[in-house]
Amino acid sequence: MTMKREPSPMQDEYAPVIYSQETVSYIEAIDMMSGEEDRENILRARATGKAVLTKPFRLLESNHLGVVLTFPVYRSGLPEDATVEQRVEATAGYLGGAFDVESLVENLLRQLAGNQDITINVYDITNASEPLIMYGPQIPEGYMPLSHVSMLDFGDPFRKHQMHCRYREKPPLPLSAITTPFGIFVIIMLGGYIVFAAKNHYDNVKEDCRKMEELKVQAEAADVAKSQFLATVSHEIRTPMNGVLGMLDMLLDTDLNLTQKDYAQTAQVCGKALISLINEVLDRAKIEAGKLEIEAVPFDLRSILDDVISLFSSKSREKGIELAVFVSDKVPEVVTGDPGRFRQIITNLVGNSVKFTERGHIFVQVHLADNSDLGADEKVHSGLNGLSRSEKVQIMSDCTFDTLSGFEAADTRNNWENFKLLLSDEMCLQEASTSDKEPDIVTLIVSVEDTGIGIPLRAQDRVFTPFMQADSSTSRNYGGTGIGLSITKCLVELMGGQINFISRPNVGSTFTFTAVFKRCNKDAIADTKRTLSEALPTGFKGMKAFIVDGKPVRNAVTRYHLKRLGIAVEVANTVKMMLNSLTRQNSNFRTGRQPYIILIEKDSWYTGMDVYLHNQLLMLKQNDCVLELPKVILLVTCEYDKMSSGSLVDTVIIKPLRASTVAACLQQVLGMEKQQKKELSNGPTNLRNLLAGKNILVVDDNKVNLRVAASALKKYGATVECAESGKDALSLLQLPHKFDACFMDVQMPEMDGFEATRQIRLMESKANEQISNGGASRGEDSMIVEWHLPILAMTADVIQATYEECLKCGMDGYVSKPFEEQQLFQAVAKFLVSKPSSDS
């Protein structure tokens, strides 16, 4: 049927429509091709593949204006770039939809219009000269000044549509016309306030900066004032202390009975303790001010450790505790660093351990950080928690641990198994690295282990806080300022290392730190060896010794000291095992000429052992197992143990062991003559050789200090003349003069030591200029090219600024009051030539 409900004529193709809406589904078999415009839309849709829109027409039933949107439907498989013929061939049918324009626009208006009535006109302007009204009144109406025209796109590119919108009546004044000016006003006010606040803030910041600058200047002035105050306090305290200690030293050189000598020595110890406390406070102040500097000089680390152990030997003997040091063979003999600060760190840690340890041991170990697993960055931990004190004591009494003394240590890694592995690893590394080039940087790890009271858990996080003690009772029982560990931590960090600890209450503490040093060249090592405070004798090389000790860690320490003397060592756990070993090795001893030495620990000794051992050794000699009786030496930790040694023991060595003390005992036991020529660099003999016959001027305004310094120099053979002011010193040093050196106090009235030194250097400069021009002669000293009197600052002010000022004004060195023998030697050895000692 055609669109007019008539039979359709014969034609090439038809487009019968099927309605999906139920309201019109009864209409069937209407050919859409029968309408001219519908046919054109269908053909255009299938040829282009796009939607096509008809001109407006009256819809069936509703009689409203509407349009039909037609889409072509193709069979599957049609390519995207298909031709028109391919599209026609693949067409399966069409999909069309009728749209009621009037209903669509009215629904849209109900959603968008709001309270105002809007007049809408929709036009089909495909033919611009004759637009077709699709919606709205034929004659435009409404408020024409406010009109909006927009284009509509229904998807058909061939047809154009346009919409005109306007209010039906003149709209009222919108709210925005009122709120916009008010909003602008508010924005302007806010902007003004922001500008005002910014300017006000800028002024405040500027004022704050000015105040900060003033505070910075005041802080710098306060820092200078604090440094000056510390210098003044140090000088004012050290000046009378110099007199006290100096006079006590002179007193001890006189003939005193035992009671008087004890009183004088006690006073001297207390005075030195006060000086040590002053030094600690000054060190802390210098650290806070960032003025503490680290030296870089070659030094023998083992010698320093021996000195520190010797410093606390009497305390350890009184308490009966083991005090020992062990340095790995891989640690270089001489390193470059700050020996004074390294000594200070070790002294602080060992001093604390001695103070808080009543039984057991204190053990100092030094290894290369690369070979050790005792890291200084381990976290603090504790053990045996949750047990009562009696249970802990019972555990410790029932157990023997593989440590130096057999008591449990806080750090469980410091046992014999790890120690043995460490020693074996170092031997392997030493063999493997003989041909390898050693690195220039040496990182050492040092541990100080004790079996003391430990640190309470609540106090462990403030151990390195200045002036903090574990608790008030500790302060009362043990004393101290709580500043030592704080200084130690700062010194370790200045030396490029870290420090940490492991502590367990009633078990002990282990402090571990690392330090970075430089490896010395061969020349520096040779020079340092020549200037050691106590050179070890070389006459023991090739000798053999037996150590009888059931504790492996302790016999490793004894073996370390004997090895430093060049003595070959064997170890046995008991005396019986040692005798059996001597019997088996008789052939080796027959060929050896060196004496055999037996060192026995007190733990392996019992009453009557001396007689038994002597008889056994006599039998070995009679059986030709040994050429001569070995020397028997007993090792004990306190004077009381020495009494039970027996009469047949050759000698007793009271610990702590030092290579020098062991050497002295062996020389005595073996009847070896001590070397006449001692390689000592700062002993009294060499200091006397330096100062004997030298004319020295001492300048100090304090008569007591003047007397003390003069007496100290005269004791070593110097000829001393005194002056009480800088002006007096200038008059005595008018050229030519007879003096070989001058000790100059820094702080004096009228003319201080700095100004006096400048005047002296000025006189010498003028005289040297005349000598170089040939206008003057040196008289008797014609062999000397120019005038330069060694001037050493002698003051109680020991801060860095004073030392720099001394060098700046022309002084040659620095001696802090009160000075001691070693310090005096180190100061004068650079400038004075030693006279050879006579063999009297």
Q: Is residue 520 predicted with pLDDT exceeding 60?
A: yes
Nearest to 832 by CA among 785, 793, 790, 786: 790
Mean pLDDT computed over every residue of the chain: 79
Report d(CA 374, CA 379) in Å as an integer.
Answer: 11
Q: Which residues contact 419 (CB under 8 A, 6 or more apart)?
A: 552, 553, 556
Report d(CA 621, CA 557) in Å as an integer.
Answer: 30
Q: Tens digit of pLDDT for each residue in 76-90?
A: 888 888 898 999 899
Instruction: Note the pLDDT of residue 287.
Output: 72
Mean pLDDT, rounded, for 589-598:
60
What is residue 448's DSSP assignment?
Answer: E
Strands (E), 202-292: none
Q: Is residue 727 predicted with pLDDT exceeding 80?
A: yes
Predicted TM-score (pTM) above 0.75: no
Q: Which residues contact 71 (CB under 8 A, 6 or more apart)?
A: 45, 51, 94, 95, 96
Report d(CA 477, CA 740) in Å as an integer.
Answer: 51
Mean pLDDT, rounded, for 25-47:
81
**Can you tell me which residue has the tokens 């796109």?**
153
| Torsion sign across C-alpha atoms 288, 291, 297, 303 | negative
Nearest to 233 by CA among 285, 268, 272: 285
Q: pLDDT band at 359, cuts 50/70/90?
A: very high
DSSP letter for each residue of 27-63? ---EEGGGSHHHHHHHHHHHHH-S-EEPPPEEPTTT-
Bridge-based pairing state of the strands 631-636 and 651-654: parallel
Instruction: Note the pLDDT of residue 61.
Output: 67
Bridge-based pairing state of the strands 132-135 and 118-124: antiparallel
Neighbours of 82 (CB within 10 A): 15
Give yes or no for a contact between 699 and 748, defined as CB atoms under 8 angstroms apart: yes
Neighbours of 124 (CB within 10 A): 23
Give yes or no for a contact between 274 and 481, defined as CB atoms under 8 angstroms apart: no
Mean pLDDT, rounded, for 388-403:
52
Q: Which residues contact 194 (CB under 8 A, 6 or more apart)?
A: none
Q: pLDDT band at 680, cuts 50/70/90?
A: very low
Question: Phi-psi bin for 774: left (phi > 0), alpha (psi -120 to 50), beta?
Answer: left
Give yes or no for a contact between 687 and 564, defined as CB atoms under 8 angstroms apart: no
What is the phi/psi pair of residue 803, to 5°? -65, -40
Helix axes 175-252, 703-714, angle to 10 degrees: 60
Question: What does the chain come to in residues?
Answer: 840
Report d(CA 450, CA 434) in Å as an integer.
Answer: 35
**Can you tell me which residue has the tokens 């608790």?**
471
Q: Tens digit of pLDDT for each residue in 453-499?
A: 998 888 888 888 876 665 545 445 555 566 788 889 989 999 999 99
What is the phi/psi pair of residue 206, to 5°? -60, -40
Give yes or no for a contact between 164 and 149, defined as CB atoms under 8 angstroms apart: yes
Instruction: Note the pLDDT of residue 783.
Output: 52
Q: Which residues contact 470 (CB under 8 A, 6 or more apart)?
A: 455, 456, 459
